Structure 1
Amino acid sequence: MDGEERRKKIVQALHEKKDPISGSRFAEAFGVSRQVVVQDIALLRASGKQIFSTSKGYVLQEKDSATRVFKVIHSDDEVREELSAIVDLGGIIEDVFVYHRVYGVIRGPLNIRSRLDIEKYLQNIESGKSKLLKNTTSGYHYHTVTAASEEILDLIQEKLQERGFLAKLQDYEPVDFWKKEV
C-alpha cells in the first residue's frame, strides 16, 4: 500500500469511528512505524483535514461538528481534571464564560485541544496576577465544547457528571446560548 492509499484509509477510519484512534493502532494496522503515521497525519492536516490529537489518539473534526455548552462547578484544584476529562475524550474547549447577575455574560477564549494546551493555560494563570474567571461567580462557569459528534459530547457530559462537575441551570440564567441544555 502506498502513502496516498494509506492516508485515504486513515481518513476513512477516522470518519467511521468517532472515538479517537491511536497512532500506534494505525501503525500496526498498516504495517508501518508510528513516525510514518505522524507524517501521514501532518500531510493530511496540510491538505486541509481537521485532524486533532488527543491523549487517546486522533480525531477527525468534520465540518458538521457538534457544539454544546456545559455549566460546571469545581474547586481551583480540580481545573486540570475537568479540562482533561474534556480533551481526553476528543473535545475542544472553545471558551470559558460566566453569567454574572450584574455584568451579564463575561467570556474568554481558550481553544484548548490537548493536555499540553491545558498545562500552558494553567501556567499562564499561575504566573500572572489573574484569577480564574469562575471565581467571580462562586465557582460556577460554562465551557463551549466542540467535538466531532454528538456522541462524543454525550461521553464528555457523562464523564463530567460522573466526576460531579456538572451544575444545574438556574431560572435566572439565559438559555439562548445553549446548543443543547445540560
Structure 2
Amino acid sequence: MSGNKKILGDDRHLFIVSTLKNSNIPISGRELGLLTNVSRQIIVGDINLLKAKGEPIMATSRGYLYMHPMIEPKRIEKIIVCNHSPEQTEEELMMLVDYGITVKDVKVEHPVYGDLTASVMVSNRSEVVDFIKNIHQTNATFLLELTDGIHSHTIIADSEQQIESAENALRDAKILVE
C-alpha cells in the first residue's frame, strides 16, 4: 500500500463498483487494494458484501468483472459433457474458442459435495493461455481430476452453427461425451 489515505467503508464500496463498471477487463483484488490503499483481503471481503447486496460481480481467474446487463443479441447457451486428461484441457478450450465459443464454466459431480462449478470465462486463445498459465503457476488442480476426466461446460455462442462445429471438432478429438 502506498502513503495515500485509505478509502473507507461505503466510499470504498462505491469506488469498487464504479471502477469495475467502467472496466472492460478483469481487475485483480491486489490492484483494487492498491487503488484504495487497503489489503487484498479487505477487497475480497468488500466484494463478498457487494455480491450479497446484489451487485453482479463475477470473480474470474484474472480478477473481478462487473456483469453488465446484456443488451446485445440473444446468445445461445448449451451444456456439453467432455472427458479427457488434464493435459488435454488447453487443446479442448482452444478448440471451443476457435469456433467463437465462450466457455463460461466447468462443472463436475463430486461424490461428497455434489455439483461443483468454477468460472472459466474464456473467449479467445489469449485468455485460454492465461487461464492455463494461472492453473500451473498456482499449482491448482483441474476440477476434472476429481472425476477421472468427466466434466461439463456451459458454452455460449452467437449461433447453433458455431456450437455444432465446435461439437464436431470435440467429437473428432474423442473429447465430447454423447
> TM-score scaled to structure 2, two decimals?
0.58
Structure 1 portions without partners, runs of 5+: 1-47, 51-60, 169-182
Distance in 1 separating the partners of 2:86 and 2:146: 12
Report the alpha carbon displacement of residue 63 of structure 1 after superposing the two structures with TM. Answer: 2.3
1:112-151 map, 5 Å: 112-151=122-161
The letter of the residue matching 1:121 is F
RMSD: 1.9
Q: Out of 78, 81, 84, which is 2:91 matched to?
A: 81
Structure 2 portions without partners, runs of 5+: 1-67
Distance in 2 separating the partners of 1:130 and 1:81: 18
Distance in 1 separating the partners of 2:164 and 2:174: 15
Report the alpha carbon displacement of residue 129 of structure 1 after superposing the two structures with TM. Answer: 2.7
Q: What is the DSSP-based 3-state SS (H/G/I as helix, E as strand, rest coil) of the residue aligned with 2:177?
A: coil
Residue of structure 2 in register with 1:106 after alignment: 116
Aligned length: 110
Distance in 1 separating the partners of 2:157 and 2:72: 9
- Tell me, yes or no, if the aligned pair for 1:66 and 1:148 is still in contact at 8 Å: yes
Q: 1:90-122 CA deviation, whole Å, 9 max, x = no partner?
A: 000000110123211100011101111011111
Residue of structure 2 in register with 1:58 after alignment: none
Check if 1:68 corresponds to 2:78.
yes
Report the alpha carbon displacement of residue 87 of structure 1 after superposing the two structures with TM. Answer: 0.2
